[in-house]
Amino acid sequence: MMISTCVLSLILMTSAQAEHSKNEANAFLVPTFHCIGIYFSPAQGSAERRVLVKYRKAGQEHWNEGFPLLYHPVNTPECKADYRGSIVNLTPATTYDIALTLEGADVRTECRGATWSENFPVASTVKVSDRDTPLVVNRSGSPDAYVLFDGAGCTIDTANNAKHGIEVQGSYIILRGFTVRNVTEHAIRIFRGHHIVIEDCDISKWGSSDETGFGRNYQAGVFSNNKDIRSVTIQRCKIHHPSSDSNSWAEKNKTYHPEGPQCVVFFNSQGNHVIRYNEFFSDENHYYNDILGAGSNGSYRGFPGADSDIYCNYIADCWDDGIEVEGNGRNIRVWNNYIENTLMAIGNAAISVGPLYIWRNISGSSFSPPGSSWDMTHGNFLKMGYAGSADWMSGTQYIFNNTILQEGNKGCNGLGGGGRIIRHCTTRNNILHVRPENTRSIAVSSDHKGNDFDYDLVSAAFPPGHEKHGLKGMPRYVQGAGFDFETKKGMFQLAPSSMGIDAAEVIPNFCEPVNENHPDIGAHESGTPKMQFGVKAKFVPVSPAKQP
């Protein structure tokens, strides 16, 4: 057996980021706090051979099984490797051994990498007082010496006399505790930099209106159009109530597609971002276009950028997509979010590179005003389809253990609505409970390709030949189930007598037995605490890695 070893230096947020460290088998790792992206190009790779993944904390004997990597080359520099995928549900600031084995060949590679630390080493602090002009951050720290800009108790309010509240032109910096409001474009604009932490901030009243009276498109709470930015963490922030409103799909004096403010916009960045523990919301007079998203949806880049995580957020109040993860989708991971008052909960049209992972999310209410250009009254949990051309639908995506909450028949449609194209998509263990008037839980199209739908709980139709182990019917939840806006907590567990209890397929690293019980279908496992979203959340895996 040919064995090669790839030992990466500890890749923490607090030390220099390794750039594509490789061994002779072309394996390298890209971490975040709770995940590690894997890239691997063995010479004998092929569509007939998977790469089997095992991982363990350094120093332990027991190996945990990871989710296999599929061979899926894409002829573009953005794909990075023939095999790519992620290990999830990891512990921050922890070193892991990773073993990759090419199925059916004598090739085994061992790598060592580390997740990011949540403790940033601060070497200097700049205390900022109230101000009515933009704060220009043009200092940089270093991997072991961040510069903290302390905004606790500080309000930046320009009375709409400035475009931005904070302008970032540096790296290894922390923006903490700022209140930013009354700016005419973006509350925080990142002109350049990397390893930027934005935390505990309250952002509102940004942006301006155009000649129609609606907001200007893509003006954001946090914005960048620099393609070189990477490693931006946005955490425990409240971004809410922009100054203007977006047009809905039904407005007569605007183009059909909503245009207006958003919470976070990164155009074609390098990625490796983390957006977690935030509350993105507004009111009916200040709706967003999308909440998280950008452009270049039909491309090999897109939002948020490769190797990025979006989790444990509360996301609400837009006319289009709550989360728009469209473009390359390469090792992008979206989990444990609660999304409501949107048209589409998650936009994924299209995924060109992949893999995109979407798991344990909850979607609530979905609607659009009557009379919209497409005559839509509500949208889908997952948009599906493509942007510009179905040729962009070449990337893989995995959809595991999500729940469409259908309270009062006001929830989302299923995957792709009635007939959007779906390609290279694997579903497992989802509750796809759609409204009574919706005829499909999973779209049906003659243009589908490379899909595997199974072990889902579906209330309506699905493509023929799929869901051989799926359940047809409607879920029943425990007493008191639902979401509480005030606490940002939710109870979404199935009732003990409901179909779906102990009926999920075990998925290595994503959905594993809990206390030796078989897992449930849906986002909320029986016997676990209420799900928490927003600034008070703390991610705890349902089934963490086993210990020896």
Q: Give 106: exposed, middle or buried? Use CB within 10 Å, 0-12, 13-18, 19+.
A: exposed
The label of the residue with tokens 């020896």 reads: 548
Alpha carbon separation from 147 to 174, 195, 322, 402 (Å, rounded): 6, 11, 32, 39
Q: Is the pLDDT of residue 10 over 60?
A: no
Radius of gyration of the chain (CA): 22
The upper half-sphere exposure of residue 452, i.e. CA atoms within 13 Å in the direction of its Cβ, equals 9
Condensed to tens digits (0 to 9), the pLDDT of residues 217-264 reads 999 999 999 999 999 999 999 999 999 999 998 886 666 789 999 999
* Six token digits for residue 305: 């950028």
Query: Nearest 5°: phi and psi at 162?
Result: -140, 155
Mean pLDDT of 351-375: 88
Task: Tell me what the mean pLDDT of segment 37-47 comes to.
Answer: 95
Helix (H, G, I), strand (E, B) or coil at 137: strand
* Residue 9 pLDDT exceeds 70: no
Q: Is the pLDDT of residue 1 over 60?
A: no
| Better-scored residue on pLDDT, 417 or 8 | 417
Residue 546 has a pLDDT of 60
Q: What is the pLDDT of residue 430?
A: 98
Whether 179 contacts 147, CB under 8 Å: no
385 pLDDT band (50/70/90 cuts)?
Answer: very high
- Whether 305 shows a pLDDT value over 90: the answer reads yes
pLDDT tens by residue, 52-100: 999 999 999 999 999 999 999 987 888 889 999 999 999 999 999 999 9
pLDDT of residue 255: 66
Nearest to 355 by CA among 32, 72, 65, 5: 72
CA distance 274 to 121: 18
Instruction: Output the CA torsion sign for 201, 15, 294, 369.
Output: negative
Q: Rounded to whole angstroms, how far apart are CA atoms 469 and 456?
A: 8
Nearest alpha carbon to residue 348 among 404, 403, 290, 406? 290
Mean pLDDT calculated for residue range 370-398? 88
Give 368's pLDDT tier (boundaries 50, 70, 90): confident
CB 376 within 8 A of CB 368: yes
Residue 6 has pLDDT above 90, yes or no: no
Element holding 200 (H helix, E strand): none
pLDDT band of 512, cuts 50, 70, 90:
very high
Decide: residue 452, CB within 10 A, 0-12 exposed, 13-18 middle, 19+ buried: exposed
The percentage of residues in the chain with a pLDDT greater than 70, rounded to a whole number, is 93
pLDDT at residue 41, rounded to an integer = 94
Q: Which residue has the tokens 């992008």?
A: 332
Residue 412 one-letter amino acid: C
Q: What CATH class has 2-114?
A: mainly beta
Specify the length of the chain in residues: 548
Q: Is 217 within 8 Å of 194 (Cβ atoms)?
A: no
The domain ranges of the chain are 2-114
Nearest to 190 by CA among 252, 270, 132, 96: 270
Averaged over 104-120, what is the pLDDT? Answer: 95
pLDDT in tens, 21-41: 344 457 999 999 999 999 999
Mind spelling out the 3-state secondary structure of 342-373?
Answer: ECEEEECCCECCCCEEEECCEECEECCCCCCC
Query: What's the CA gap between 140 and 132, in Å, rounded?
Result: 23
Q: What is the pLDDT of residue 8?
A: 41
- Lookup: tokens for 125: 């602090």
Give me the chain's average pLDDT, please: 93
Compute the Cα dihedral for 153, 159, 160, 162 and give only its sign.
negative
**pLDDT value at residue 254:** 67
Residue 420 has pLDDT above 90, yes or no: yes
Tell me if residue 286 falls in helix, strand or coil.
coil
Which of 308, 259, 317 is closest to 286 using CA atoms? 317
Mean pLDDT of 524-530: 96
Residue 214 pLDDT: 94
φ, ψ of residue 202 to 5 degrees: the values are -120, 115
Rounded distance, CA 344 to CA 71, Å?
A: 30
Given this model, what pLDDT does residue 26 score? 72
Place of tokens 């030390």: 15
Residue 142 has pLDDT above 50, yes or no: yes
Report the pLDDT value the prediction gives residue 20, as an integer from 0 to 100: 37
